[in-house]
């Protein structure tokens, strides 16, 4: 599952792309398939967590936050390694205070995993990539096949 950086629509993309680079089903812009975390505002954040069929990792951060900057490469690497299986979003708490208040964010960075619109895990503070990956791994398991 990939989020269109132009319109925010969620798109399923098959492993093979016979017609070249995939485009968004809604706006027809090229999709970004690296899995890199995408900056979102409050509205895009709410839409993504409500409609994503894959787990959503949200990095609550601010540009002045040293630990946020320090952990950003680990978040980026983890998101890219799980492209299509995880939607990674970055929410600037200074520019978007409403979600921070709604979810009780009291320190940054704070990471929240959402599934089916619900918070399922939370981690505050910067972690090394291996620890972040270990914390996130239960939510990256392949879904059970439906009969």
Q: In this structure, is the dihedral angle defined by the CA atoms of residues 127, 103, 76 and 33, taken in order, positive or negative?
A: positive
Catalytic residue among 4, 7, 27, 65: 65
Which residue among 4, 7, 24, 68 is the active-site one? 68
Give the C-alpha separation, 50 to 8, whole Å.
Answer: 12
Tokens at 6, concatenated: 């132009």
Active site residue 65: yes
Task: In whole angstroms, give the CA distance from residue 136 to residue 55.
Answer: 10
**Tokens 């792309």, residue located:** 17
Contact yes or no for 32/8 (Cβ under 8 A): no
27 is catalytic: no
The residues annotated as belonging to the active site are: 65, 68
């Amino acid at each position: 599952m990939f989020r269109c950086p132009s319109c925010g629509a969620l798109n399923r993309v098959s492993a093979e792309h016979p017609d070249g680079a995939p485009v968004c089903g809604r706006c027809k812009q090229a999709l970004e398939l690296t899995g890199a975390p995408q900056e979102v505002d409050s509205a895009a954040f709410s839409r993504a967590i409500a409609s994503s069929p894959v787990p959503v990792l949200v990095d609550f951060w601010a540009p002045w936050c040293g630990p946020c900057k320090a952990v950003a490469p680990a978040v980026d690497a983890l998101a890219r390694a799980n492209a299509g299986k995880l939607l990674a979003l970055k929410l600037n708490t200074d520019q978007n205070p409403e979600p921070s208040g709604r979810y009780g964010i009291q320190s940054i960075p704070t990471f929240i995993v959402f599934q089916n619109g619900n918070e399922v895990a939370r981690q505050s503070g910067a972690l090394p990539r291996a620890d972040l990956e270990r914390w996130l791994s239960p939510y990256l398991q392949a879904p059970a096949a439906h009969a």
